[in-house]
Amino acid sequence: MSEPTLALSARDLRRDYPMGESPVHALRGVSLNVAPGEYVAIVGPSGCGKSTLLNLLGAIDRPSTGTVSIQGMRVDQLNDRERTRFRLLHIGFVFQRFYLMPALTASENVELPLAEAGLNRAQRRARARELLSYVGLDARIGHRPSQLSGGEQQRVAIARALGNRPALLLCDEPTGELDAHTGAAMIALFERLNADGTTIVVVTHEADIAAAAWRAVHMKDGAIVSDARVR
């Protein structure tokens, strides 16, 4: 009998950053499986390797050694172009700094990756409207990022990340730049996304985000030190 395909499987990941005489060993052998529909928080002190790990899981960066599979597809061996294409179609990534295009409206920002994935204009418009409605921004479709609050910009970034129905949503410090009230709304949105079937891996140093996840993976000095179901 074949195993059900994991959303994510990482094996023995190491990532060394060359720094002259003394390279930084940012990851020292990390293995992690995530099943479809899981909601996982990766927590640990600053500098322990969380962002490095997320970048490998999201096929943004390649490991020094080790393997990463997303939905059964090995991504660590893909070249830059192939990884870009794979990310576009299979992974939603929400960065701490959002990276919205300032000259584009909320709708146009959400439409960008949909255009790259080959949807026509009418399809993009309709899908962007649906996504922005899902994250509660019906009334902000035509606004530019500078006309939106931090929390609203984050919602646009999440809507954009969900555009191509990714197998996996990866988020780096999703409430890092938000006030407590907006952060709580973001946590509620993540819970709804997960309840609707999105697999989520979120890097955070915030206890309330970690507490909202189903599973907490604790890291220290480039390694996983505990991995437990929290609720």
Which residues bind to ligand ADP, rule: CB under 6 A? 17, 19, 24, 26, 44, 46-52
Supply the minimum distance, in Å, between the C-beta of residue 99 and ligand ADP. Answer: 17
- Please give the span between the terminal C-alpha atoms of the chain, in angstroms, as a whole number: 30
Residues 165 and 174: their CA atoms lie apart, in Å, by: 19
What pairing do the DSSP bridges indicate for beta strands 8-17 and 65-70?
antiparallel
Question: Of 203, 167, 226, which is closest to residue 53 (Cα–Cα)?
Answer: 203
Other CB atoms within 10 A of residue 16 CB? 15
Supply the minimum distance, in Å, between the C-beta of residue 160 and ligand ADP. Answer: 22
Supply the minimum distance, in Å, between the C-beta of residue 51 and ligand ADP. Answer: 3
Phi, psi of 173 (to 5 degrees): 45, 65
Supply the minimum distance, in Å, between the C-beta of residue 222 and ligand ADP. Answer: 7
Question: Of 90, 77, 178, 218, which is closest to residue 189 (Cα–Cα)?
Answer: 178
Supply the minimum distance, in Å, between the C-beta of residue 212 and ligand ADP. Answer: 19
Which of 95/164 has CB closer to ligand ADP?
95
Instruction: Find the length of the chain.
Output: 231
Which of 23/118 has CB closer to ligand ADP?
23
Which of 13/212 has CB closer to ligand ADP?
13
Which of 50/140 has CB closer to ligand ADP?
50
Which of 144/205 has CB closer to ligand ADP?
205
